[in-house]
Amino acid sequence: MKKLGFGAMRLPLQNPEDKTSINQALLNELVDKFIAAGFTYFDTAYPYHDQKSEPAMKAALADRYDRSSYIFADKMPTVLVKSGEEYPVYFKQQLERTGVGYFDYYLMHNMGKDRYAKTQAFGGFEFAERMKAEGKIKNFGFSFHDDAEMLDRILTEHPEVDFVQLQINYLDWNNNIIQSRKCYETAVSHNKPVIVMEPVKGGTLANLPPEADDLLKNFKPGASAASYALRFAASLDNVIMVLSGMNTMEQIIENTNIFDNFEPISEAEKQLLSKVVNIIEKCTEIPCTSCGYCMEVCPKNISIPQLFGLYNNYKINGNFSRMYHDRITYNRGKASDCLNCHRCEHNCPQHIAIPEHLKKIAGFEQ
C-alpha cells in the first residue's frame, strides 16, 4: 500500500460557492489517474460536501471499479449521533451511499473530550467491534483533534483500536494547541499505526509568505512548498498513510510523483522548515509563553494560554477553529466569562494585557 491517500473533503466543484456542486466528470478523471499510478487509498466522511462526498465517491469508485482494486475509509458522524441506537442507522446509510460493501478502514470521527464522552456513553467502540466481527469493518480507529493527554486516555481505555488518524504537519509539530508531535509520540507509545490528515494544513503550507517560499525555492529549485510538507509527514516512522485533498490533475500528478520517487526529509531540510515556521509565526500577536501563571489566579478557570494559542493560530492562517475553542472551554470558563479583575495580568511574567486579548477572543463566541 503506497503511502499517499486521496482525501475526499475538498473535491473539485462546478461552483466554488456551492459545496454540493461536485464536478463528477473531473473527479472520475482524478480517481482514474490516481489508480493508474498505483495508488489505492480513498478517505471520506458522512458530512463532507454537505453529505454529497460519499455518493460522489460511489460514482467514481464502486460504480466503476472492482472492489478489490481500492481501499476505502469512512467515518461515523459522531457529532450527529444522539443515542447508541443510531449507530447502525448511520452505518447502514453509509454502506448504501458508498456502495463499497464493507469498509477497509472505519473511524469514529473527530474524537476529543466532548465526543469521546458521548461515544463512551453510547457504546460506539463496542458497535465498531461488532461490525468488525461481521466483516463490515476490516480496521477500526478514530480521527482525533485534541491534546495528547486525551489521546493517551482513549488509547489506554481502548487498546483494541487498530490505528489513529492525526493532524500532523511541520507547522503544528510543536504547536501548543494542535500538539502534532506530542500526539504522534503518544500513538507510537501505544504501538498504533498513524494515518496523517492535514499534512499541508488546508493549503497553508502550499502558499507560504514570500520570504519563506524563497527559502525553499533557493534550497531545492523546482520543488514545491507542498512537497516539503508531504515528505515531512510521510518520513515519520509508524505513519502508514498521508491524506491529501487533491482536486486538480496537477495536484494528482505532482503528489503521486513525490511518493513514487520518495525522498525522506533530511536533517538540513528539517532545519530549513524550522526557519519557515519562524517566518510564519512572525504573525503571532500575543507573546504568551504558556507558563500558566495566569491560570493560578483566574477565578473563572479560563484556559488562557490555550485560548491565546488558538487566537495566534487564527492570526497565522485566518481560521478561528470553533472545534478547538469548544474543547479548550469544555468544563472550563470561556473568554467571555472574564471578570476583568486583572489578577492574571499581575501574575503574568510577560506583562500581557490579558483581559484585553480575551475580549478579542470573546468576539468569536457570539
pLDDT of residue 291: 80
d(CA 358, CA 353): 9
pLDDT of residue 289: 72
pLDDT at 203 over 90: no
Fold for domain 4-275? TIM Barrel (3.20.20)
d(CA 316, CA 141): 31
Q: How many CB atoms lie within 10 A of CB 327?
A: 23
DSSP for 243-310, written as a single string: EE---SHHHHHHHHHHHHT--PPPHHHHHHHHHHHHHHGGG--S------GGGGS-TT-B-HHHHHHH
Q: How does pLDDT run across 290-315, given as a tens digit for each residue?
A: 888 898 899 999 999 999 989 988 88
Share of the chain above pLDDT 90, in %: 84
In sequence order, what are the residues at sequence separation of 6 or more whose Cβ sits closer than 8 angstroms to the Cβ of residue 180? 166, 167, 168, 169, 172, 173, 174
d(CA 8, CA 99): 16
pLDDT of residue 10: 92
pLDDT at 202 over 80: no
What is the average per-residue pLDDT within 169-175?
93
Three-class SS state of 356: helix
Its pTM stands at 0.85
Query: Nearest CA to 87 among 36, 140, 30?
Result: 140
pLDDT of residue 75: 97
CB 310 within 8 A of CB 321: yes
Q: How does pLDDT run across 272-284, given as a tens digit for each residue?
A: 999 999 998 887 7
Hey, what's the cell of 198? 492535514
d(CA 256, CA 258): 5
**Higher per-residue confidence, 205 vs 59:** 59
For the chain, give every residue range classified as CATH 3.20.20.100.
Answer: 4-275
CB 137 within 8 A of CB 102: yes
pLDDT of residue 327: 93
Task: Flag the least confident range among 141-150, 262-271, 306-315.
Answer: 306-315
Whether the CA torsion 96, 97, 101, 107 is positive or negative: it is negative
E strand map for the chain = 4-7, 41-43, 71-76, 103-111, 137-144, 163-167, 194-197, 239-244
d(CA 52, CA 185): 35
pLDDT of residue 293: 82
Q: How does pLDDT run across 54-103, given as a tens digit for each residue?
A: 999 999 999 999 999 999 999 999 989 999 999 999 999 999 999 999 99
pLDDT at 191 over 90: yes
pLDDT at 330 over 90: yes
pLDDT of residue 27: 98
| Overall size of the chain counted in residues | 366
Q: How does pLDDT run across 8-51, given as a tens digit for each residue?
A: 999 999 998 898 999 999 999 999 999 999 999 999 999 999 99
Task: Flag the least confident range among 110-124, 145-159, 280-294, 333-347.
Answer: 280-294
